[in-house]
């Protein structure tokens, strides 16, 4: 009961999902967006594993809201590709096939590399300084094996450089692709121990961007993304069982 009250307080709503002193429609949208964030974080962190059912009543009780914002949140996450609806068990965390994962990384490589060409000439000193700070935080997260932070910092680095292209629709699409690939990216880093490779490749991309070498930064970025996808699919081909479930959990590998 205490945890439900705490969760309800964190969402800024009453346990029934309603609020005081605000339009019901606005309040419901606010609660729904907070439920979306909470569920997205749980999926991306691996707390909800791929293929795992997401029980609306359990989520509602845990977060201290009604089932209405939970149902709406799950529909939004379905649009993002993070959950799918099964006629027999409701919402489940999406599972991508090896070919879909490979396609996802290939698509990211194609779109991000083209966006990088447009972004590099427009990058300001503040953008580059911010990218360097994010890389420092990224390396620190690697050092302490803070797997949960890797995905968020990875997106912040990429988006900081790509935002200079001033293509908000494309960047919004890329963020959805990152959300779909985030848990797989962290899985690839945690289980194949690709931290040093990721760090050096990010540094090379940043250096090329700083030198205003747009074509080089673009090709480095595309190779970085596609290589990560290939490494991941090779790993999953070995470690997924015949049902498609992962036999080794993220973070299970030895730290170093």
pLDDT band at 142 (very low <50, low <70, confident <90, very high): confident
**Rounded to whole angstroms, what are the CA distances from 75 to 26, 56, 81, 87, 129?**
18, 12, 10, 14, 38
Enumerate residues 6+ apart whose C-beta is below 8 A from 230: 102, 105
SS3 content of the chain, % helix, strand, coil (to 5): 70, 5, 25
* Predicted structure pTM score: 0.69
Q: Higher pLDDT residue, 107 or 181? A: 107
d(CA 210, CA 127): 10
Domain 2-93 matching CATH 2.40.50.140: the answer reads: no
pLDDT band at 15 (very low <50, low <70, confident <90, very high): very low
Q: Per-residue pLDDT tens for 217-241?
A: 999 999 999 998 888 888 888 876 6
The whole-number pLDDT of residue 195 equals: 74
The whole-number pLDDT of residue 108 equals: 95
In this structure, is the dihedral angle defined by the CA atoms of residues 114, 120, 126 and 131, taken in order, positive or negative?
positive
pLDDT band at 191 (very low <50, low <70, confident <90, very high): low
Are 65 and 56 within 8 A, CB to CB? no
Which CATH class name applies to 98-239? Answer: mainly alpha
d(CA 219, CA 216): 5
d(CA 94, CA 56): 16
The whole-number pLDDT of residue 250 equals: 44
Could you state, in order of their start, the residue ranges of all structural domains in the chain?
Answer: 2-93, 98-239
Q: How much is the average pLDDT of 191-200?
A: 78
Enumerate residues 6+ apart whose C-beta is below 8 A from 174: 108, 111, 112, 115, 158, 159, 162
At residue 29, does pLDDT exceed 70?
Answer: no
Q: How much is the average pLDDT of 150-175?
A: 94
d(CA 59, CA 51): 16
Mean pLDDT (the chain) is 82
At residue 12, does pLDDT exceed 50?
Answer: no
Q: Any bridge partners for residue 90, and if so which?
A: 86
Q: Nearest 10 degrees: CA dihedral of 154, 155, 159, 160?
A: -50
CA 173 to chain centre: 13
Q: Per-residue pLDDT tens for 36-58?
A: 989 988 887 778 888 899 999 99
Whether 2-93 shares its CATH topology with 98-239 is answered no
CA 92 to chain centre: 17
């Amino acid at each position: 009961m205490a945890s439900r009250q705490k969760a309800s307080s964190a969402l800024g709503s009453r346990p029934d999902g309603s609020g005081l002193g605000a339009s019901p429609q606005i309040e419901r949208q606010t609660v729904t967006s907070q439920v979306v964030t909470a569920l997205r974080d749980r999926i991306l962190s691996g707390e909800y594993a791929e293929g795992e059912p997401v029980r609306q009543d359990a989520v509602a009780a845990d977060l201290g809201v009604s089932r209405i914002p939970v149902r709406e949140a799950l529909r939004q996450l379905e649009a993002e590709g993070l959950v799918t609806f099964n006629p027999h068990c409701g919402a489940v965390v999406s599972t991508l096939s090896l070919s879909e994962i490979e396609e996802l990384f290939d698509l990211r490589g194609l779109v991000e590399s083209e966006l990088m060409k447009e972004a590099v000439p427009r990058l300001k000193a503040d953008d580059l300084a911010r990218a360097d700070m994010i890389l420092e935080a990224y390396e620190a997260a690697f050092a302490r094996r803070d797997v949960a932070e890797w995905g968020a910092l990875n997106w912040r680095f990429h988006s900081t450089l790509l935002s200079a292209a001033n293509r908000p629709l494309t960047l919004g699409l890329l963020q959805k692709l990152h959300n779909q690939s985030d848990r797989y990216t962290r899985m690839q880093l945690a289980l194949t121990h690709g931290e040093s490779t990721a760090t050096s490749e990010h540094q090379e991309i940043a250096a090329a961007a700083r030198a205003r070498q747009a074509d080089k930064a673009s090709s480095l970025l595309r190779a970085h993304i596609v290589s990560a996808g290939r490494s991941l699919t090779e790993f999953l081909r070995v470690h997924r069982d015949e049902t498609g479930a992962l036999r080794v959990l993220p973070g299970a590998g030895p730290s170093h």
